[in-house]
Structure 1
C-alpha cells in the first residue's frame, strides 16, 4: 500500500468516470427473509435502457438500487465508479429518480417552490435558482402554473412537475419507475415523447411495452433475476413467452 507523503493531498474518492456507466456486480437484495433480487451482474452504458417484468418480479427494487434509494444486501452498485453504499450523495447528483406516483415526489405547496427544492438543498444561488426553475417550467408547459398549488394540478401535470424537479438538477442519468402507469393515453404519450427527447441516459421500468420502441437495450426481470437482456424486439418476445407459460 502506498503511503501519502507529508503535506500531500488525500486522494479524491468522489472522482467519477462516466465511461463506466452503471455497474451491478453480483447484486442481491432481501427484505427480511424474502429474496427480491439475486445474482444480478449487468453494466448499463446505453442511452436508453428498459426494464420489464411481472408485478413482484423485483424490477422496482432494481430501479431503486441505481441511485442509492436502496442499497444491495449483497454485491455492489457503482455509478460512474462511485459506490451507492458509501458515496450516495455524489451518486444522487448524477442519477435522478422519477417515481410512478408523482405525489410521492411533490413536497412543496406551489409548482415553482417544488421545482426549486433540490436546488436549494444544493446551495444554488437565488438568481441562478430562479432562472433554472423558470427555464424548466417553460420547457415543459408549466410556466403559467408557477404559483399554482401543486396538489391541484392534473395527474399529467403532476408527472411533468415531478420530472421537471429532476431535470432542473441536471443529472447525467435518470431512472423512471413506471412513469406512465397512472396516466391516460394522451399524457402517457406526452411523457413517452419527453423521455425520448432527453439528452441524459435513461433507465425506464415499464409495463407499457410500446414505450420501449427505439430503445437500445431491454432487461427482463423475473423472480429476482435478469432472465433476458437484448434489443427491444427479442426482449419483449422473451417476456411475452415467459408470461404465456404462467
Structure 2
C-alpha cells in the first residue's frame, strides 16, 4: 500500500456496478491522493493482470475475461476508477501496488480508450511490469496536429511486449503505436465493437488478448497446479480422517 495515506480519512469512490463477492474477493485500496477504490480480485498467484477502468464503465465488462484468466492461473484485479488524467494515473498506480501487496511479482496492465492511454503513461512506473495492452486508443486519425506525443513516447520507451487492438477506424493510430513499440502485437478487427465490448464472449479480440497474456507472462507450472493439487490433497486427508473415525466407532461397538 502507499504509505502515509490515512484510511480513516479517505473518500470512497462510489460503486457503479455490482462487484459481487460471489465472483471473487471484494477489496478496497487507497490511492495516493486520498481515495478508497472498490475492486474485485479473481484468482491468485505471482502473475497479476490489471484491468484499468475509466469512469467505472469498464469494470463489469472485464469480469468474464478476468474469470477466464483466473482459471488460467492469474491473479486479476478489476476496480472502479475515476475520470481525469491525474486521478486515473493515481488509480492505476494504486491498483498495481495492490496486486504487488498481494504477491504479484509480474504484472500485465492495460485498458480501453482513455484508461489504456493512462496505462501507457503510467507503465514505466509499474513495478514488475511484464506487458501492456491498449485497446481502442482515444485518438483521431493523424491530421498533422492531433498527434498523441506523450503516449507514443511512453510506449517507445517500454521494453516489454505491447498489445495494441483497434477496429478499422482506429487502425492508423494503432499502427503508429505498434511502430513505436519495440515488441508489439498488433490486432486489427475491422468490425470490432467499441469500448470494453471488444473483449466480450465470442469476440476475436478477446481470444487474441488472452493469447497475448499467456505468451507474454506464463504462469509457473507449480502455481498452475497448486490449487487443484491442494484440493486433491485436502480430499485425501478428509477421506483418511473418515476411515479413522469409522474404525474407531467399529472398535467401540465390538
TM surpasses 0.5: no
Select the structure that is richer in helix.
2
TM-score by length of 1: 0.31
Higher relative strand content? 1
Whose Rg is larger? 2
